Amino acid sequence: MTVLSVNLNKVALLRNQRDLSYPNLLDMARTAIAAGAGGITVHPRPDERHIRKSDVRELAQMLKSEYPGTIEFNVEGYPSQDFMALVEAVRPHQVTLVPDAPGQSTSDHGWDIPKNMDTLCTITSQLHKIGARVALFVDDDPAMAEPAKATGTDRVELYTGPYHFAFAKGQGSEALKSFKATAEAMRSTGLELNAGHDLNLENLPKFLSTIPFIEEVSIGHALTVDALNMGMDAAVRSYVSILKVA
């Protein structure tokens, strides 16, 4: 079954608006896990506008002590020196590398892998030395399959933002053609696939029915909005139920 990794960035953003201790990220992670999430995702940014370095350390320690070997910790980010120092310190199960600029509000494109081949090969090798699985954030472009494999990465994460916008216009089936072609090209090289960005309760079923071999979906913004309406427990269970059907 595809694993749900709950992204806690927007929970942290809400907390930071008042610089208070709540909502508590550790408690939200525990609630998500109890409801069926198989992973926790964070994407710390240089300005710490949502996830802070201290959050990454505290979540890593909590997951290792309370859920040893059962719940995956996925840390996303651009491989700057600060980011690499952080992940080398906490040693998450997975590191997802994204090509974000420091001030970027959210991830909105995948890597141009050939252009960044040397950097990605070096970083991937460093992360493997600390025992982390590596995933590269990629667009729906089958031409990136062979370059991705050449970096030594273990997985790619499909950037699904374009699918979200197409789905909202009633054009989801058309948009999924390139995603399916990309997924099949990646899989043919031996790479595993994750997916994330703007997936929600409405568009997730169609995505997974078209591409059923997704290992993990990382969902944050939509799930947090759903949690405001129905509670974190019920929101996570709603997503997990979709994954079970798929």
Q: Which two tokens stand for residue 152?
A: 């030594």
43 classed as catalytic: yes
Is residue 54 classed exposed, middle or buried when 0-12, 13-18 and 19+ CB atoms within 10 A define those classes? exposed
Pairing of strands 133-138, 39-42: unpaired
Catalytic residue among 43, 50, 93, 164: 43
Q: At what angle do helices 25-34 and 232-245 cross, to 10 degrees?
A: 40
Query: Of 72, 76, 157, 216, which one is the catalytic site residue?
Result: 76
Candidates 221, 239, 199, 232; CA nearest to 32 is 232
> Which position among 50, 93, 164, 197 bears the catalytic label?
197
Query: What span, in angstroms and rounded, lies between the C-alpha atoms of 136 and 120?
Result: 9
What's the rounded Cα separation, in Å, for the pair 158 and 168?
18
Q: In sequence order, what E strands does 8-161 have?
A: 39-42, 72-77, 94-97, 133-138, 155-159
User: Any catalytic annotation for residue 157?
Assistant: no
Q: How many CA atoms lie within 13 A of 236 on its CB side?
A: 23
Q: Beta strand 133-138 with 72-77: parallel, antiparallel or unpaired?
A: unpaired
Residues 6+ apart with CB under 8 A from 18: none
Element containing residue 60 per DSSP (H, E): helix 53-66
Assess whether 197 carries a catalytic annotation: yes
Residues tagged active-site: 43, 76, 197
